Amino acid sequence: MSLTLPQPPRETLTGKSLIAGVFGWPVTHSRSPRLHGYWLKHYGIDGAYIPFSTHPAQFETALRALPALGFRGANVTLPHKEKALACIDQATERARRIGAVNTVMVQEDGTLLGDNTDGFGFLEHLQASAANWRAGDGPAVVLGAGGASRAIVVALLDAGVPEIRLVNRTTRRAEEIAEALNTAADRRITVHDWDHRAAILDGGALLVNTTQLGLAGQPALEIDLAQLPVSAVVDDIVYVPMETSLLAAARKRGNAVVDGLGMLLHQARPGFAAWFKVEPDVTPALRDFVLADIPGAK
Ligand code: NAP
């Protein structure tokens, strides 16, 4: 006669639980615990994902403690992303080119491998939402030159976009990205004046807003879309609100539009797969679950 042992409810951790988390300061704004928590429950995984409120002065010590604590790895969010690159043992090529790490994996030998999945998340969501867009369609115009911009520029270069027109209020920051990523043989990034942002839309196949303009509480993004072909895709990575004034104006004139929430959801996939050994799906139910916790997003 076989004896069936009682199984613990899914919410109960066991000695075999797989554990990961996210480091931020503050970490209260992070959507990652809700996102990974949804997947853990959905896939019935014996695991947990924990938010760590970690002061910058303690970040390196906290990150380096992951192997000793038996963690599978962690996400890293503001303001630790650049520091993380300096604290890990090995970085993926894209993390090095982006200059920041958002996903850390504890390897078999206890060393830390750092990756940056922001550009991956951007591209996966763009391709899922604008199925007709192809990297080779034409130039991309990227507004902004902060951390998100750099990740997106690397992803667009790797996807094969023929030209990236980069424009930022502070031109020097855009020039720094171009200097870091252009090579002697590959000079696809061109830098333009903020005042010329409407004119450089001419012939563009993709427009991406990576500035904070349009974010709730920030000024709106002012840009005349008249020069942008109606065939171009317009992608705004701001997701509070989901329908920014840029997306509303683009939709009205017939451009395909892509919102910012999907980038957030897709960037989480590689980390979850590495830590919890399941390839997770981005579904409408996940999207609704995460959206429900973002005031002002709808
Ligand atoms: P960041 O490094 O601080 O960069 C901010 C960018 O916004 C810079 O290019 C900055 O220009 C520009 N900017 C700010 N105020 C401006 C103004 N009044 N006029 C013109 N430009 C202005 O921030 P980040 O991490 O790259 O994030 C940028 C935005 O992307 C945020 O809204 C963030 O929420 C969003 N984001 C979304 C996702 C997602 O998953 N969907 C992921 C990451 C970030 P200067 O250089 O001239 O200051």
Superfamily name and number for 119-261 = NAD(P)-binding Rossmann-like Domain (3.40.50.720)
209-230 confidence digits (pLDDT tens): 999 999 999 999 999 999 999 9
Q: Could you check whether 18-115+268-291 and 119-261 share the same CATH topology?
A: yes
Strands 18-24 and 47-53: parallel
128-163 confidence digits (pLDDT tens): 999 999 999 999 999 999 999 999 999 999 999 999
Question: Looking at the predicted structure, is the pLDDT value of residue 3 above 80?
Answer: no
Q: Are 136 and 156 in contact (CB under 8 A)?
A: no
Mutation probe of ligand 1 site: the residue of 103, 126, 211, 240 with most atoms within 8 A of C-beta: 211
Which member of 81, 83, 252, 277 is catalytic? 81
CA atoms within 13 A on the CB side of 70: 7
Instruction: Indicate the DSSP class of residue 68.
Output: T
Instruction: Classify 75 as helix, strand or coil.
Output: strand
What's the CATH number of domain 18-115+268-291, 3.40.50.10860, 3.40.50.300, 3.30.420.80, 2.40.100.10?
3.40.50.10860
Look up the pTM and report it.
Answer: 0.95
Distance of CA 277 from the midpoint of ligand 1 (Å): 33
